[in-house]
Copies of this chain bind each other. A is one copy, B any other.
């Protein structure tokens, strides 16, 4: 039996921090692990910036609620959920992804969470488990599932490696060059075809 696992941002939704940066006008929120390679330093920098500019969780959630899914994402999910079990695996936080899950029809989602202070500001982030995406694949494999995993970038590579079948969806070109072993889908019908082929 199969479970199809998907990253969220870049696969079904735009990137949250870019949108928060655009909406708040705080340019430094656009920095990613490509700019600050240590994720903990990056996240603490983001939290400090939000505090400095008094941007509350609620304001961020309003930005996210106004974000649209990538065109075709909901239709794609609606088409595959009757065929194969689906799980979302994202290194984002429940407080952020909730509006997206609602729009996607509440697929199950493995993610992390945030700590919120009295004034509604984000005070810290809580990683539920390190190397979460790969650990989730391992846990599902321990239950005798075969896994088809789809992601869009570097942070998905350990999950794609651990899965029985890994697929890139709209990855940057340098990711394609570096990991030529994974097939690439640029549109949802292609992604659907790849997944259905594995299901046999």
Contacts and interface: CB of A to CB of B under 8 A. Distances in A.
Interface in A93-139: 94, 98, 102, 105-110, 113, 128-129, 132, 135-136, 139
Copies, count: 2
Nearest to A140: B139
B108 A107 contact: yes
Contact of A142 (B1, B85, B109, B139): B139
Interface residues of A, number: 27
**Interface of chain A, main secondary structure:** mixed
A140 B128 CA distance: 12
A75 to B, nearest CB: 14
B108 A82 contact: no
7 contacts: A1-B94, A1-B128, A86-B108, A105-B106, A110-B143, A139-B139, A139-B143
